[in-house]
């Protein structure tokens, strides 16, 4: 399974913020949408990522007073990225090595979507379930050589 297949399974809906947006409004968006990350877009291109990890660090650093703090102040400017032809196992390994729960998927400069660790787990489970059904079907229909 490749990253492009995981993106197709989950859909390519992107939730975004801008670097100039207040962090408080971005947090509201994340909470309202039950999202753990937002892609930060600037002039039509990905400028970074905002995840709940950056939000928590900002809350701690600013003693819960986020007045005047923008998304650009706390976002990850150069997030780890995946590419469409990457194998799911390589993606999982990368996410674990980099401690990244959310990875933007880029095809060149085109942002295809964001994959979460949960998306990867769901896709792998679906793939394993399909293989399991195919194997059970194959075994069930195994030719009986005694009836030849």
Q: Domain boundaries in the chain?
A: 3-141
Q: Hey, what are 108's tokens? A: 């060149």
Q: Are 26 and 79 in contact (CB under 8 A)?
A: no
Strands (E), the chain: 16-17, 37-42, 45-51, 102-107, 110-116
pLDDT of residue 144: 64
For the stretch 16-61, pLDDT in tens is 999 999 999 999 999 999 999 999 999 989 999 999 999 999 999 9
- CATH 3.10.580.10 assigned to 3-141: yes
| Phi, psi values for residue 101, rounded to 5° | -90, -20
Which of these, 58, 80, 69, lies nearest to 19 by C-alpha position? Answer: 69
């Amino acid at each position: 399974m490749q990253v492009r297949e995981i993106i197709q399974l989950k859909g390519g809906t992107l939730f975004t913020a801008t670097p100039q947006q207040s962090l408080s409004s971005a947090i509201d968006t994340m909470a309202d949408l039950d999202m753990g990350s937002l892609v930060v877009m600037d002039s039509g291109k990905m400028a970074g990522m905002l995840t709940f990890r950056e939000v928590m660090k900002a809350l701690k650093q600013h003693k819960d007073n986020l007045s005047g703090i923008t998304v650009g102040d706390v976002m990850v400017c150069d997030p780890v990225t995946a590419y469409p032809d990457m194998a799911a196992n390589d993606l999982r390994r990368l996410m674990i090595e980099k401690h990244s729960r959310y990875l933007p998927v880029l095809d060149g400069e085109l942002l295809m979507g964001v994959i979460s660790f949960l998306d990867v787990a769901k896709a792998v489970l679906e793939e394993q379930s399909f293989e399991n059904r195919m194997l059970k079907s194959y075994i069930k229909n195994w030719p009986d050589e005694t009836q030849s």
